[in-house]
Amino acid sequence: MNNPIPNLGTAEILEGYQQFVVPSYARFPVAFVRGKGSYVWDAEDRRYLDFCGGIAVNVLGHASSVVGKALGEAAGRLIHCSNLYYHPAGAQLAEALVRRIGAGKMFFSNSGAEANECLFKLARRYGASRGAFEILTAQGSFHGRTLAAMAATGQEKVREGFGPPVPGFRHVPFLDLAAAERAIGPATAAILVEPIQGEGGVRPATAAYLQGLRRICDRHGLLLLLDEVQTGSFRSGRFLAFQRILESFEKGNDFLPDGIAMAKGLAGGYPMGATWIREPYAELLGPGSHASTFGGSPLACAVALAVLRHMEEQDLGRQIREKGERLRAELEALASPERRLIRSVSGVGGLWGLHVRRDARSVALELMDRGLLVAPAAGNIVRLLPPLTVSEDEISEAVAILRAASRDEEAMS
């Protein structure tokens, strides 16, 4: 196939961005031109093992034929039609997602922040009749970069220099049930948490915490909302991370939140956001209350359906659980609280956080030089987010790179 993008070297590409692209990202100095499976190649044809995975987007790896085929077929049939109309892929995807979560309905959008925005509007509609509008979120959380998602995010630095935050968000300590309950006031309408804080440094919630929040929300008449943007799409080893966290809990099967935001891996790299709303709350968002021009297009829904079916046919959830356990054991063997590069390890399935002894970005840069891509997070954490299709050999390769980096760090200290 002809590539319409001319061949440019890394320097030229970086120069293009420097001149013409808003400098809002702290990008690493590398430009990628192609990928296959767990690997990507830069403009000088150097190969990298990609455990950044588009920060939890590339669930099937790069250049997946499943994604490519679904995109091609849908593009040849119907790319877009307005949400003034219906289409079969939307009906099928909504049903597939609802069946994997619980009785409710879906709203489709294009990103994680938008999926959360739907939850924010749901909470406000829910509280409107009694004048409640406030959402409690967790310190250290991350919910996106729109004005409302920034206000929801429990990290002061994302709001700096952007004027008054959108009102109606307050942050409480993560994993602290008593603090959450104390913070509830007459204006509170909902509590929103990530079942595993991702950008905040791979901090999983416990089953007791999620169950406790459910009880608190029931007691005070609040909605319990989950942000599964980073943790959904089998990243944890189950379709959603709350299902993984609660599976060993005796009453886990009864647990349901009232709303869930999803995005990232849903369509294997094609932009898609989705919000599940529990029955009967979906009816709060009646005609004219919420919309998105591109949300839930025939193309996006067809790709998401193909990705979901493939993940289940291949049992990628079970596979990443098993491989994840092996990765955990190997990473823990490299970790030591005192002298080593890696102080400790947290995570589950295909989402791992390595607490490193120096700035996460400098460690990510060094690992990139050694041919391994990882994603920095807050609090000196580097995340490993391999595709769910990662092979045992690729895990060995990643561990070998980390072991070599760790050995060199120890030798220098």
Ligand X SMILES: Cc1ncc(COP(=O)(O)O)c(C=O)c1O
Residues with active-site annotation? 142, 227, 264
Count residues binding ligand X (CB under 6 A). 15
Is 50 one of the binding residues for ligand X (CB under 6 A)?
A: no
Among 30, 113, 151, 158, binds ligand X (CB under 6 A): 113
Q: Is 151 left (phi over 0), alpha (psi -120 to 50) or beta?
A: alpha
CB 38 within 8 A of CB 387: yes
Distance of alpha carbon 386 from alpha carbon 235, whole angstroms: 9
With respect to ligand X, which residue has the nearer C-beta, 112 or 353? 112
Q: CB under 8 Å to 160, separation ≥6 — which residues?
A: none
Cβ-closest position to ligand X? 112
Q: CB under 8 Å to 324, separation ≥6 — which residues?
A: 237, 347, 348, 349, 350, 352
With respect to ligand X, which residue has the nearer C-beta, 12 or 162? 162
Residue spans of alpha helices (H) in 85-239: 88-101, 112-128, 147-152, 177-183, 207-220
Is 111 one of the binding residues for ligand X (CB under 6 A)?
A: yes
Is 144 one of the binding residues for ligand X (CB under 6 A)?
A: yes
Is 117 one of the binding residues for ligand X (CB under 6 A)?
A: no
DSSP string, 23-74: --S---S--EEEEEBTEEEETT--EEEESSHHHHT-TT-BT-HHHHHHHHHH
Residues 51-80 within binding reach of ligand X (CB under 6 A): 55
Residues 1-30 within binding reach of ligand X (CB under 6 A): none
Among 50, 199, 397, 409, binds ligand X (CB under 6 A): 199
Distance of alpha carbon 247 from alpha carbon 287, whole angstroms: 37
Task: Kindly state the smallest distance separating residue 151's Cβ from ligand X, in Å.
Answer: 13
With CB under 6 A as the contact rule, which of the stretches 163-171, 193-201, 239-247, 350-358 interacts with ligand X?
193-201
Is 397 one of the binding residues for ligand X (CB under 6 A)?
A: no
Residues 210-239 within binding reach of ligand X (CB under 6 A): 227, 229-230
With respect to ligand X, which residue has the nearer C-beta, 199 or 409? 199
Task: Kindly state the smallest distance separating residue 221's Cβ from ligand X, in Å.
Answer: 25
- Lay out the site mask for ligand X across 28-47 (x = CB under 6 A, - = otherwise): --------------------
The two tokens of residue 91 are 């009906």
Q: CB under 8 Å to 30, separation ≥6 — which residues?
A: 10, 42, 48, 368
Is 257 one of the binding residues for ligand X (CB under 6 A)?
A: no
With respect to ligand X, which residue has the nearer C-beta, 61 or 140? 140
CA atoms within 13 A on the CB side of 209: 20
User: CA gyration radius for the chain?
Assistant: 21
Task: Kindly state the smallest distance separating residue 227's Cβ from ligand X, in Å.
Answer: 5
Q: CB under 8 Å to 335, separation ≥6 — which residues?
A: 342, 343, 344, 345, 354
Is 366 one of the binding residues for ligand X (CB under 6 A)?
A: no
With CB under 6 A as the contact rule, which of the stretches 95-103, 110-118, 128-136, 303-311 interacts with ligand X?
110-118
Task: Kindly state the smallest distance separating residue 121's Cβ from ligand X, in Å.
Answer: 15
Backbone angles phi, psi at 33, to 5 degrees: -115, -20
With respect to ligand X, which residue has the nearer C-beta, 144 or 317? 144
Residues of this chain that interact with ligand X (CB under 6 A) are: 55, 111-113, 116, 142-144, 194, 198-199, 227, 229-230, 263
